[in-house]
Structure 1
């Protein structure tokens, strides 16, 4: 069963833990750069107060006639101003370098690990998961940048503290500016929270418009759209989805802008109100000119500090949507693993086989089960063919056997042990499969095949053996650079036909030396008859070899009945159940559904 959607722990502890994790990641990747950045931000915070004090000393020196003292103080003020400008540029450059390096590489990898850490496929069909994936899939940069923005906020708080301390030495009443300073911060955070919420709420519409855009611009869907003349309809649908996504996000951004305007109006009112009494005291001779200069300088600095802090808080809060989505996905992954990942070891070889008892399964978001009360036994070492009409549950069955989904009801037993209790990663490591909707990995040919067993990814002899098993030697010989040939036109590589891609997928499925389950789901749907015959001859021989080695159960799903006549067991599925089972001869003799369907196909493929 799928784990329920997680409730991510509240409070600031989760943010603090993630912040420490991100800064620690930066420290491990670039220790000296991290230490330098922290030092720069601290010195820059203190330097603001130093500038204000130097300006005060300069003015007081001029008033007293202390030319030398005024000159020294003025030089110090100029030096601190120059240092501020230098530190600002250095801070920006080092921060961007850090974020580009760690965010684009390390965090992008971690985000992929979170998404790929879910062993099943059902999460990829759940809207609440896909919405978060949409938010975080390019969010590595934002996560690391947000972490350093938090450091900037802390540095800004230090700067604000020193600023307020200086204001208090002039007049305690000026400390009331702190209250007005908090208003834009609070209002801006509220507005940014609305923006983050809107991005998650509109993720589905955003994902839909991107899908429609890809349909129109990629060759696979583009050819059908052009032939059918549906380009205008697809464009209109994409525009409507885009408008829906943008409308929700724009409303949130306008609301955030309104909050920001109100906050700054209130701060400006407090700023002016605080300066008027101070200027009045100076006009009556009750305060020094240096105090006035210090107060104005510090007050202006306070305004700039508040503005900078608000901007940084906005960036931090703007990253909150990515942070929340990332934390949600991590919690979801942990809960899913706890619910689905068994701990029992996978057997070294099958002795009894695979038994399904009362299996019922419904895809997420659908109301009708695709498998309903399915019972069958797949003997160890057997070649099992699964046939049936479209929609009978053939592909759903193999997905459950591969533990990409788990049954809603019933059990799947491996030599008597519930598959749910076996370690999922270990079961996947002992499974080989070529699916009907096979992947087209546009990398080098040798890597495309080698991914079938990553431990032997660079083992050219193993890759070549898998190519031979898939009857793909002729394809390899035609490639200009052999195994090093880049595949895919979008990467200036060689494009393959549908049949050649399928042979590549079959080769990839042949990489594992000793699987316990070997699945071929419509393995020759894109191949011609001679290639289909050669493939099945080779894979029947491979199945017999695997049977003697580890008792492998080979499951072949096919809509062409003529290709499965040599199977040890044929399962005929209808409406999610096993309607008939037996050998080819037994099922023909029974004269049931299999015999009827076989006869129809035999007539259809008979020469006219």
Structure 2
């Protein structure tokens, strides 16, 4: 095994000792004691048989008594070990190891990381990491003590019977060697097919979940999705099956070698006994050891197999550790509590990973402190991408964003976001209590009912909130026995969540009313424009409103017009209309469409 994997097992063992010292120490003691029970049983039985044959009543009774006691202790230790093992595996896996993986993933500051196939492939392998890694620790411990038991058994055979049986250790090592080779082969196959496996799972969830259920049934696409899921599954499983067949062939060869060696060893013992060079007790001892040697070897192989399975998790986990440490440039400078000058974009360009097309192309503009800035344009013009750059979900490929003269890349990401509030176009639908779905917007005030109620009112969500069966304590999401909200109600919930922070320096509304009717849209924009003015007076906050509805942004201080990622116009509503350019044409088209409607 790699040293890094052994270090990881050591870290898990130290974690277990730190949090559960009593149970960990007891389990180690039980495993150590269990290593000597089988050799002790074999020696006791051999002594009992020799005592009977020689007429030594005392030695026969003593040998039988010791054998019975050892057998009883073995059963008790096995049961105790099983219970301690189950408790530690569950607690370590669920409460510590799985949480560590989730924390590292959540700690990745940008969204681009979650679009990388190499990261997603390893995250696929890390499902169930906590439980499996905890189990791997104790099966590795089992493998160590079972290895000790094997050594003791062979020493018993070599010293109590004949040294000619010691070469059995070579034959005993053969299955372990081939088992390790097979584990490496299957791990590589799982990594190579992780993308296809992830695709088939996504297709299955799509075909069986409620999110796309209506469209799938109207289009009659269920059979097509099922066929594609089957094809992706077959692609993933075919390669994994070939790897497992290859591993099974190796295991068969290892067991064949061990069986040959064990058979030859027993034949030697029988031959020696027939010639009078050994006793019947030696023969019983050898047969007893041979009978338990296979079980001991099987336990050792299981321990090695599970430990190697843990290594298939350790490799992607250690990769994730290293990736999380180097993936982001989080910045170290403090985020401003107030804005004096504003935000400047200097020839900012950005393309999404895997795409050659720039979503934002050499955009230069100034967002003055205390201003309300609207970003408009047709679908795909780069509006949402621009606000993702402002909130540091992505870093510009070229150019820079300055906040009061400081490069935003140098500002601590967590602090910058702590001073920001946002409602995004693809808002989250959190299936938790209604109060928590809103309070998440400002975690220190999660349980501040007055603040939650004010946020609900700011988002014009108090009307439907009052009708919820349990008020703020209503569980959301039908899958958890709760209430399912309409699309507009989910969006108002997201707006309320964005209203929890009372002193942001950047407030982003990305298509905040796309799911709302015209009266609700008008009322919300009026409220949030008034809120933006109050924020501007307190913190110099910049409010950025992204919308494809031009009529809703006429009251903004400054309007940015994007087209295919480029900034083609900017100015106030009146000036842009007077310029009779792209903004004026699009505004007129929408005005005519609403008039006809």
TM-score (norm 1): 0.96
Residue number among 254, 270, 286 corresponding to 2:277 in the alignment = 286
Shift of residue 16 of structure 1? 2.4
Alignment of 1:240-251 (within 5 A): 240-251=231-242
- 2:391/2:417 contact within 8 Å kept: yes
Question: Counterparts of 2:277 and 2:162 in 1: how far apart (Å)?
Answer: 12
Residue number among 382, 388, 394 corresponding to 1:393 in the alignment = 382
Paired residue for 2:117?
127
User: More displaced, 16-25 or 469-478?
Assistant: 16-25
Shift of residue 177 of structure 1? 0.8
Question: Counterparts of 1:315 and 1:17 in 2: how far apart (Å)?
Answer: 17
Q: Deviations over 1:208-258 (max 9, x none)?
A: 111111112222201100011111111111111111122222222222211
Paired residue for 1:377?
366
- 1:570/1:582 contact within 8 Å kept: yes
Question: Counterparts of 1:530 and 1:31 in 2: how far apart (Å)?
Answer: 63
User: More displaced, 42-51 or 85-94?
Assistant: 85-94
Shift of residue 99 of structure 1? 1.1
Residue number among 424, 435, 438 corresponding to 1:446 in the alignment = 435
**Helix, strand or coil at the partner of 1:567:** coil
Paired residue for 2:571?
582
Question: Counterparts of 2:235 and 2:74 in 1: how far apart (Å)?
Answer: 45
**Helix, strand or coil at the partner of 1:478:** coil
Question: Counterparts of 1:341 and 1:171 in 2: how far apart (Å)?
Answer: 67
The question of 1:537 aligning with 2:526 is answered yes
The question of 1:263 aligning with 2:254 is answered yes
Paired residue for 1:235?
226
Alignment of 1:263-342 (within 5 A): 263-337=254-328, 340-342=329-331
- 1:111/1:137 contact within 8 Å kept: no
Question: Counterparts of 1:379 and 1:468 in 2: how far apart (Å)?
Answer: 28
User: More displaced, 256-265 or 88-97?
Assistant: 88-97
CA RMSD of aligned residues (A): 1.3
User: More displaced, 363-372 or 585-594?
Assistant: 363-372
User: More displaced, 445-454 or 326-335?
Assistant: 326-335
Q: Deviations over 1:412-440 (max 9, x none)?
A: 11111111111111111111111100000
**Helix, strand or coil at the partner of 1:319:** helix
Shift of residue 296 of structure 1? 2.5
Residue number among 10, 22, 35 corresponding to 2:12 in the alignment = 22
Question: Counterparts of 1:418 and 1:163 in 2: how far apart (Å)?
Answer: 69
Paired residue for 1:107?
97
Question: Counterparts of 1:544 and 1:436 in 2: how far apart (Å)?
Answer: 23
Alignment of 1:528-607 (within 5 A): 528-607=517-596
Paired residue for 1:514?
503
Shift of residue 164 of structure 1? 2.0
Paired residue for 1:62?
52
Question: Counterparts of 2:315 and 2:185 in 1: how far apart (Å)?
Answer: 13
The question of 1:154 aligning with 2:148 is answered no
Question: Counterparts of 1:157 and 1:277 in 2: how far apart (Å)?
Answer: 24
Shift of residue 31 of structure 1? 2.2
Shift of residue 275 of structure 1? 2.0
User: More displaced, 205-214 or 587-596?
Assistant: 205-214
The question of 1:32 aligning with 2:57 is answered no
Residue number among 402, 406, 409 corresponding to 1:413 in the alignment = 402
Question: Counterparts of 2:303 and 2:118 in 1: how far apart (Å)?
Answer: 29
Runs of at least 5 residues in structure 1 that lack an aligned partner in the other structure: 1-10
Question: Counterparts of 2:317 and 2:398 in 1: how far apart (Å)?
Answer: 32
Residue number among 205, 217, 227 corresponding to 2:208 in the alignment = 217
Alignment coverage as a number of residue pairs: 596
- 1:103/1:144 contact within 8 Å kept: yes
The question of 1:455 aligning with 2:437 is answered no
Question: Counterparts of 2:145 and 2:127 in 1: how far apart (Å)?
Answer: 30
Shift of residue 290 of structure 1? 2.2
User: More displaced, 577-586 or 289-298?
Assistant: 289-298
Question: Counterparts of 2:128 and 2:533 in 1: how far apart (Å)?
Answer: 46
Paired residue for 2:71?
81
User: More displaced, 151-160 or 88-97?
Assistant: 88-97
- 2:140/2:306 contact within 8 Å kept: no
- 1:568/1:583 contact within 8 Å kept: yes
List 4+ stretches of structure 1 deviating above 6 A.
none
Paired residue for 2:187?
196
Paired residue for 1:495?
484
Shift of residue 60 of structure 1? 1.9
Question: Counterparts of 1:307 and 1:157 in 2: how far apart (Å)?
Answer: 11
The question of 1:51 aligning with 2:41 is answered yes
Paired residue for 2:107?
117
User: More displaced, 293-302 or 87-96?
Assistant: 293-302
Question: Counterparts of 2:27 and 2:503 in 1: how far apart (Å)?
Answer: 52
Question: Counterparts of 1:475 and 1:108 in 2: how far apart (Å)?
Answer: 37
The question of 1:181 aligning with 2:187 is answered no
The question of 1:98 aligning with 2:79 is answered no
Q: Deviations over 1:194-217 (max 9, x none)?
A: 112222221111111111111122
Shift of residue 376 of structure 1? 1.1
Shift of residue 511 of structure 1? 0.8
Runs of at least 5 residues in structure 2 that lack an aligned partner in the other structure: none
**Helix, strand or coil at the partner of 1:219:** coil
User: More displaced, 50-59 or 519-528?
Assistant: 50-59
**Helix, strand or coil at the partner of 1:527:** coil
TM-score (norm 2): 0.98
Question: Counterparts of 1:309 and 1:196 in 2: how far apart (Å)?
Answer: 20
